[in-house]
Structure 1
Amino acid sequence: MTRNTAAELAPRIDLAVTAVEGVRESYSARPVVARAVERVADVEGSLAAVEDVEGARAITVCIGVSELDDAATVAGAVAAAARGAGDDDVPASVRVRVARLVAPAS
């Protein structure tokens, strides 16, 4: 099976993460410099940070969850979704940052 590149995989991870029940918002997990370069070049980048390291892959995503949801459960589901977004057999470590608890609209 062909290995997906980080650039191919990141948008697929973005879609998988936003499809998880309990994810209210998604934020960029990529380094500030990468985001700044994209802003200057006026290109849209993915929110997920995907890095290939020594035969493995490191994935980082950053989400917001409702204060009514169990953040740990949502984060676990997001990690599983991010890991499953690739169709190759590359081992992946996934870091999910819960950056914000979103208050429900009143």
Structure 2
Amino acid sequence: MTPITAAELAPRVDLAVTAVEGVREVYSARPVVARAFEHVTEVEGSLAAVEEAGGVRTITVCIGVSRVDDAATVASAVAVAARGAGGDDTPSRVRVRVSRLVVPAT
């Protein structure tokens, strides 16, 4: 089986994360320079950051959760979803940042 590249894995992670119950918003976890370049060149990039260095693959995602949801539970579910996004190609590390608590509309 051919390993999945970081560029192929990132959109899969985006889809997996947005499908997790309790995730209200997803934010870019990628470096500012990469996002600025995409903005200037009008290219859409993934929100997840997938990095590979020295045989270690790291996935970082930033999410927003509702104030009524348990952020730790949602973050744990997001980590499981991100880890499974590559199928058998499991990352070495997954980081989930809860960047914002979203107030539900009343």
Q: How far, CA to CA, are the matches of 1:69 and 1:77 in structure 2?
A: 12
Displacement of 1:55 in angstroms is 1.5
Number of aligned residues: 106
Match of 1:31 in 2: 31
Letter in 1 for 2:48: A
TM norm structure 2 = 0.96
Q: Is the 8 A contact 2:83 2:90 kept in 1?
A: no
TM norm structure 1 = 0.96
Sort the Cα spacing of 1:91 and 1:11 in 2 relative to 1 into closer, same or farther, 3 A. Answer: closer
Q: Deviations over 1:62-97 (max 9, x none)?
A: 000000000000000000000000023344200000
Q: Is the 8 A contact 1:56 1:90 kept in 2?
A: no
Letter in 1 for 2:13: I
Residues 1:44 and 2:44 aligned together = yes
Residues 1:67 and 2:83 aligned together = no
Unaligned runs of 5+ in 2: none
Match of 2:103 in 1: 103
Q: How far, CA to CA, are the matches of 2:57 and 2:22 in structure 1?
A: 25
Unaligned runs of 5+ in 1: none
Considering only aligned residues, what root-mean-square deviation do their CA atoms show, in Å? 0.9
